């Protein structure tokens, strides 16, 4: 299934549209999205228009740089400043400056998407809202903006599975490659051993194009028929993510794949709660260390979610951190062999609980642990994973299917994402709304409790009889 980038490139090449026309429309849509959803820290009107004019000139001269030339994109807030720091302190290894690399392909940066971390650390901000139902949360600016139709793709840093979970809840594709495939050099860290730049898009083909451009590696596509995909029996689904809506979308997606010739192989799921506890332990401890100076100076400005998470982080001891790293090594060493023993190419799981919580509840930090149940395992071990929207619940909120593979199998994981989209069919954009349609007030659901982040190495468990995780 062709994505937005291929359609834009074809239009530019045929002279039906110009980057200036497209970017002007996208800036208008970005302003509408900002008024309704609040996904941006800032919209880059002047620079985006200048980049669009330059891209239009290149297309008219027949000197377009790449399929991304003139394509509008969004980047996570802070990447612009990180790019300036990278230029001042070059490392010489050629790995810094993903934003510069993106612009070298001619992409036009429309806006800086806000982050869940900054929103949690501001007591004076409104909740970021979901493009499908503004009374519900959007979680993170990159998936909320792309799902709303702003930009063909976005770059953002994922640390603990948050980005994929909220991409699923907003109805976007999000691909996190193998750890290290895209450098985080020059980007201010959140949790350094977990951080990885990811690509958010509305189509898997667009995520692939952006990833390949940034990774400077074009791997052959499998284009397979058949194939073997590990699946989790419905009775194995844990927590809120096992609710009816997610199970229905999960089973419906698997049925489509089976009709397309995929062999579905039931496997025991990875030890998801153990991995989540280890990932949160590392995330809390590293966030606290990296941001200690800022946090001490701005404690009074932080929102309630940030304060609770900081208190949880302060409770993580050195022994907890060491045990969490041991859990990560054990799970990472076991993951690839487990897939091979099961004889499967990848594993399919739900991505997140069935519905985004109401916006005020999410701003308070509610349900963090539930949100990360299905995604944190792969972020912890650094394996490639992608989420694809596969259905919606009774409220109209999207649900996603996640496919994950062994380290280094990025191309194969993207193949599965494109195949999922092909059997699913076109995915619509959410309806455009005016700011007057945004509900005011909170749900009154109250505050979530501080998560238990203690990890015991002895809690690691594997499949019986040497089987899959």
Alpha-carbon span 448 to 423, nearest angstrom: 38
pLDDT score recorded for residue 239: 60
User: What is the gyration radius of the CA atoms in the chain, in angstroms?
Assistant: 21
State the pTM of this model: 0.87
DSSP state of 234: G
Rounded to the nearest 10 degrees, the angle between the axes of helix 204-215 and helix 4-14 is 80
- Could you give all domains of the chain from N- to C-terminal order, each with its CATH number? 4-286+301-426+443-466 (3.90.1300.10)
What's the pLDDT score for residue 145?
96
End-to-end Cα, the chain, rounded Å: 32
Tens place of pLDDT per residue across the chain (469 aa): 678 999 999 999 999 999 999 999 999 999 999 999 999 999 999 999 999 999 999 999 999 999 999 999 999 987 765 555 555 554 433 334 788 899 999 999 999 998 876 665 554 556 789 999 888 888 889 999 999 999 999 999 998 899 999 999 999 999 999 999 998 776 777 888 999 999 999 999 999 999 999 997 665 555 556 799 999 987 676 665 456 777 888 889 999 999 999 999 999 889 999 999 999 999 888 888 877 766 666 555 555 666 666 777 777 888 999 999 999 999 999 999 999 999 999 999 999 876 666 665 554 445 566 788 899 999 999 999 999 999 887 778 898 999 999 999 999 999 999 999 999 999 999 988 766 555 544 332 222 222 333 333 333 333 333 333 3
Q: Alpha-carbon distance 202 to 205, whole Å?
A: 9
Distance CA 301, CA 118 (A): 11
- 434 burial (CB, 10 Å; 0-12 / 13-18 / 19+) is exposed
**Hey, how many other C-beta atoms are within 10 angstroms of the C-beta on 399?**
29
């Amino acid at each position: 299934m062709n994505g937005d980038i291929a359609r834009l490139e074809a239009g530019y090449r045929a002279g039906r549209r110009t980057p200036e026309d497209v970017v002007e429309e996208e800036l208008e849509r970005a302003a509408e999205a900002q008024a309704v959803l609040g996904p941006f820290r800032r919209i880059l009107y002047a620079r985006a228009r200048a980049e669009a004019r330059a891209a239009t000139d290149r297309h008219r001269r027949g000197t377009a740089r790449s399929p991304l030339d003139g394509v509008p994109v969004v980047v996570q807030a802070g990447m612009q400043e990180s790019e300036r720091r990278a230029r001042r302190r070059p490392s010489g290894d050629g790995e810094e400056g993903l934003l510069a690399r993106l612009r070298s392909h001619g992409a036009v940066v429309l806006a800086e998407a806000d982050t869940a971390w900054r929103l949690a650390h501001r007591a004076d901000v409104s909740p970021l809202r979901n493009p499908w139902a503004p009374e519900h949360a959007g979680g993170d600016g990159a998936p909320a903006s792309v799902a709303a139709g702003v930009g063909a793709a976005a770059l953002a840093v994922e640390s603990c599975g948050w980005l994929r979970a909220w991409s699923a809840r907003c109805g976007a594709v999000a691909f996190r490659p193998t750890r290290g495939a895209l450098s985080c050099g020059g980007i201010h860290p959140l949790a350094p051993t977990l951080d990885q730049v990811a690509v958010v898009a509305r189509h898997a083909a667009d995520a692939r194009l952006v990833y390949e451009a940034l990774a400077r590696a074009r791997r052959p596509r499998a284009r397979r028929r058949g194939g073997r995909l590990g699946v989790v029996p419905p009775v194995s689904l844990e927590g809120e993510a096992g609710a009816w809506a997610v199970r229905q979308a999960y089973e419906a997606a698997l049925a489509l794949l089976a009709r397309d010739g995929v062999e579905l192989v039931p496997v025991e799921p990875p030890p998801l709660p153990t991995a989540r506890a280890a990932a949160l332990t590392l995330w809390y401890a590293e966030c606290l260390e990296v941001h200690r100076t800022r946090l001490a100076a701005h404690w009074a400005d932080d929102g309630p979610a940030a304060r609770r998470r900081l208190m949880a982080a302060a409770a993580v001891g050195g022994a907890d951190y060491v045990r969490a790293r041991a859990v990560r090594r054990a799970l990472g060493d076991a993951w690839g062999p487990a897939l091979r023993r099961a004889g499967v190419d990848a594993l399919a799981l739900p991505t997140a609980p069935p519905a985004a919580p109401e916006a005020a509840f999410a701003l308070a930090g509610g349900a963090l642990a539930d949100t990360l149940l299905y995604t944190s395992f792969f972020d912890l071990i650094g394996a490639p994973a992608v989420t694809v929207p596969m259905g919606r619940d009774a409220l109209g909120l999207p649900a996603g299917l996640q496919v994950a593979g062994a380290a280094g199998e990025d191309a194969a994981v993207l193949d599965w994402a494109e195949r999922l989209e092909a059997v699913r069919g076109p995915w619509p954009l959410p309806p455009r709304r005016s700011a007057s349609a945004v509900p005011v007030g909170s749900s009154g659901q109250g505050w979530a409790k501080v998560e238990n982040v203690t990890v015991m190495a002895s809690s690691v468990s594997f499949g019986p009889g040497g089987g899959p995780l």
